[in-house]
Structure 1
Amino acid sequence: MHKATPPPQPWRGLLPVLAALLTACGGSVTAATAPATSNRWTLVWSDEFDGAAGSVPNPAHWNHDLGNAESSGWGNHEFQYYTANARNAQLDGAGMLVITAEKTSNPGPCWNSKPCEFTSARIHTQGKVGFTHGKVEARMKLPAGQGIWPAFWALGTDLATAGWPRSGEIDIMEFVGKTPNTTYGTLHGPGYSGAQGIAKPREFGAPVASDFHTYTIIKRPNEIVWQVDGVEFHRLTPAQLPAGGTWVFEKPFFVILNLAIGGDWPGAPDATTPLPARMLVDWVRIYKEE
């Protein structure tokens, strides 16, 4: 998705179990480094979104990014103004997080000095939950429509000091309404960021938004694997980087969920775009490998 808390903003569209430490819910859990390819997993953190209808995401797990113009349109000329309002991110009382993008009247300024026309939410676990290696996945049902741009992704926890793309970005899942049968997994780092991000499409052969799917990465030393519904479709190692590219992924990352409207990649919404648009998240889970 790109661009997280402070600028400089990454270019999101062509966008842990800490190896020895997981920070979650304000505490910490120490976990031993596991063999690299056991394919045996132990759950170390999850948010199942079991809470009262209308309640906000657990603040022990999630922070909100806010605004639009304040972050230069999130680096992608997006049209939504992110809020912490429960209208934009709340539990439905049936075990789901619902992130809602809706048309509204002037919630705040957009990057183009005009009032934004939409609100939505972008939540992340920075400073609360992180991973260095392990398996990270979410079960989600995505909204459809022109200009719709939901994402499940991760940024290095050193974003504020290293800047983007040196912080590294792992787009676990991105979806744009103009390619309704396809999601994307992408890696961004020094020498392969923005439009040069190393991306691979996952073709469904049917509308992605018609059902729930589980989107996963497996992050091992010097390897990242992408899966949908347990089936691998993309794998990268340092040897596959372009000449001059730097692998910056052997460090902690945090998780991001958001629903953007418009931007350089998906294009603007139009009269056919179904609004409000709702992104349903059944759960987010992080595992260590035994």
Structure 2
Amino acid sequence: MKKLSIPVLSLIAIFILSYSNTKAQKPVAIQKVISESQLLASKEKAGPDRSNNEYELVWSDEFNYSGLPDSKKWSYDTAGNITGWGNNEAQYYTSACLKNSEVKDGNLFINAIKEDFEGRRYTSARLVTKSKGDWLYGRVEVRAKLPDGRGMWPAIWMLPTDWVYGGWPASGEIDIMENVGYDPYVIVGSAHTELYNHMKGTHKNGNITISDCYTEFHNYILEWDASEYRVYVDSQLFFTYKNDGTGYQSWPFDKPFHLLLNVAVGGNWGGQKGIDDTIFPRSMVVDYVRVYQKK
């Protein structure tokens, strides 16, 4: 087993924070601040208590191999490179390129590198499970250590496999973890729908501050059912999005979604305060990905 312990986090303060919503700066609904504590629990026990065994493992990658990510589980998304992914991102996402996506030492490394490539100043990778891992409801758990530095924008998130209700954001987006380097330690979870999105100024999200997210592994967790979804870091619940029963405009999350892991550079949000070119290379390191569904 790898890295058998994680930080147990203690709550220090809760406060409400609100501000205007723009495409470049996402609104924050609720913020919790936590600090490091002694390492007590094994990584299998990280996150919400599931001692009643209500879930069973249905998909995983433990990264106990070397080379490129397992092609039976992962593909590479490069379709938005020309347009900057709609966010004016500065990186070029490569496909099956070992320097940007490599499995070694029991971990997946997604590496952002400063280099001129295809008209961009940086390269990175955006891995997806689409058509290789797609789920309706369940528990998604990604154990990861994040890259720091101004201009970094790592993300663990989900998109619909089939855009049944229309293009983004009508068919939905689930953000399990986002962090921008100019706002260190702040982990954001959010929901995007036709009614609730930052284009309309109605974006729904929450955040939590993890003081060692760049130096230690943490479990970034989604629990999702027909009534709501909940986002955690380890055992700390910090964002809940509920099905209000009014239809797909607010709840498009009744169709299969797939997982994405990526490290963006710059962009409307990640690059709001520029990019520090002295920090590269930077990596998001993933210990494992596990998906559970109820028995």
Verify same fold: TM over 0.5: yes
Q: CA deviation at 1:12?
A: 9.6
Aligned to 2:204: 198
Aligned to 1:125: 129
Letter of the aligned partner of 2:110 in structure 1? I
Runs of 4+ aligned structure 1 residues displaced above 4 Å come to 11-15
- Aligned-partner Cα distance in 2 for 1:170–1:283: 19
Aligned to 2:35: none
Contact 1:135 1:218 survives alignment (8 Å): yes
Q: CA deviation at 1:65?
A: 1.1
Letter of the aligned partner of 2:244 in structure 1? A
Aligned to 1:103: 114
**In the alignment, is residue 75 of structure 1 matched against residue 75 of structure 2?**
no
Out of 155, 162, 165, the position equivalent to 2:166 is 162
Give the structure with the larger helix fraction: 1
Letter of the aligned partner of 2:108 in structure 1? L
Aligned to 2:77: 65
- Aligned-partner Cα distance in 2 for 1:123–1:282: 15
Out of 70, 78, 103, the position equivalent to 1:91 is 103
Aligned to 1:34: none
Report how many aligned residue pairs link the two structures.
245
Out of 244, 258, 280, the position equivalent to 1:275 is 280
Contact 2:228 2:243 survives alignment (8 Å): yes
Give the structure with the larger strand fraction: 2
Aligned to 1:42: 56
Q: CA deviation at 1:138?
A: 0.2
- Aligned-partner Cα distance in 1 for 2:25–2:283: 19
Deviation per CA, 1:140-176: give whole Å up to 9, x if none: 0001000100000000111387211122100010011
- In structure 2, relative to structure 1, the CA distance for the partners of 1:69 and 1:62 (3 Å cut) is closer
Out of 234, 237, 240, the position equivalent to 1:229 is 234
Q: CA deviation at 1:102?
A: 0.4
Aligned residues: percent identity?
A: 38
Letter of the aligned partner of 1:66 in structure 2? T
Aligned to 1:219: 224
Contact 2:245 2:251 survives alignment (8 Å): no
- Aligned-partner Cα distance in 2 for 1:102–1:147: 12
Aligned to 1:5: none
Q: CA deviation at 1:260?
A: 0.3
| TM-score, structure 1 as length reference | 0.78
Letter of the aligned partner of 2:166 in structure 1? A
Letter of the aligned partner of 2:204 in structure 1? I
- Aligned-partner Cα distance in 2 for 1:288–1:254: 14
- In structure 2, relative to structure 1, the CA distance for the partners of 1:135 and 1:161 (3 Å cut) is same
Aligned to 1:249: 253
- Aligned-partner Cα distance in 2 for 1:144–1:127: 31
- In structure 2, relative to structure 1, the CA distance for the partners of 1:200 and 1:210 (3 Å cut) is same
Q: CA deviation at 1:68?
A: 4.9
- In structure 2, relative to structure 1, the CA distance for the partners of 1:13 and 1:43 (3 Å cut) is farther
Matched residue SS, 1:158? coil
Deviation per CA, 1:15-62: give whole Å up to 9, x if none: 9xxxxxxxxxxxxxxxxxxxxxx772211110111112xx11111111
- In structure 2, relative to structure 1, the CA distance for the partners of 1:123 and 1:168 (3 Å cut) is same
- In structure 2, relative to structure 1, the CA distance for the partners of 1:289 and 1:273 (3 Å cut) is farther
Matched residue SS, 2:259? strand
**In the alignment, is residue 288 of structure 1 matched against residue 288 of structure 2?**
no
Aligned to 1:208: 213
Q: CA deviation at 1:245?
A: 4.5
| TM-score, structure 2 as length reference | 0.77
- Aligned-partner Cα distance in 2 for 1:132–1:161: 15
